[in-house]
Every structure is written in structure tokens, then in C-alpha cells.
Amino acid sequence: MGEADGGSESRVDGIPASEVPDGVTESEVEVLRAMQVPTQRIIAIGLVLWLVALVVTLVVPALHEGERSWWPWGCVAGFVLGSIGFLYVRRGRGNAHDAG
């Protein structure tokens, strides 16, 4: 397609006209929008789950002895990294400003 065919035109939905398959009309193309999710709530639930996992691994001796001695530290790492992510989203920096 050349310039005369509209090969460089951009449509409302951002798809170049040259990339629309033959036989597809403008009304048949659906515009997708970003889904709003409660990001802070999701992160908070994850933090609670990491704490529950930590308590379980510390209470049940079979889950923190021998080759599984690193499991509690994995829970601690998950909680610490999740806390950093929660603070980042809560402060609203960068792309996280629209999250939550």
C-alpha cells in the first residue's frame, strides 16, 4: 500500500490503516482500555499471605529444618520486597501514580 491507499494514516484506535486485515471495517475493531485494579489492596493481601507463610514455616519444624532451612528467609524476602512495592505504589511515583 502506498500513500494514495492511506498506508500512513493512523486511525482513532492507534492501529495504522496498513495493519488492519482486509475485510475488517472500522466499526468491527474494538478499542481496549486499561483495566482499573485495586493495586494497593492486592499488594496488602500479598503481604499478609507472606506473613502467614512465615508464621507457618516457623511453627512447623519440618518446614524450616534441613534442606528447607531457607524457607523462612524466602518469606521474609517476599515480605520486605512487597513492602517496598507497597510504599512505591502508595507514594505514587512514575507509572505507579495511576495504580491503586
Contact 77, 31 (CB under 8 A): no
Q: Cα–chain-centroid distance for residue 8?
A: 33
Q: Which residue has the higher pLDDT, 69 or 8?
A: 69
Contact 72, 54 (CB under 8 A): yes
Per-residue pLDDT tens digits for 31-81: 777 788 888 999 999 999 999 999 999 999 999 999 999 999 999 999 999
Domain residue spans of the chain: 1-33, 39-98
In this predicted structure, what is the pLDDT of residue 2?
A: 45
Which are the contacts of 56, defined by CB distance < 8 A and separation ≥ 6?
A: 63
- DSSP class of residue 64 equals S
The CA-based dihedral angle spanning residues 78, 83, 89, 90, taken in that order and rounded to the nearest 10 degrees: 160
Q: Looking at residues 2-18, what average pLDDT do you find?
A: 57
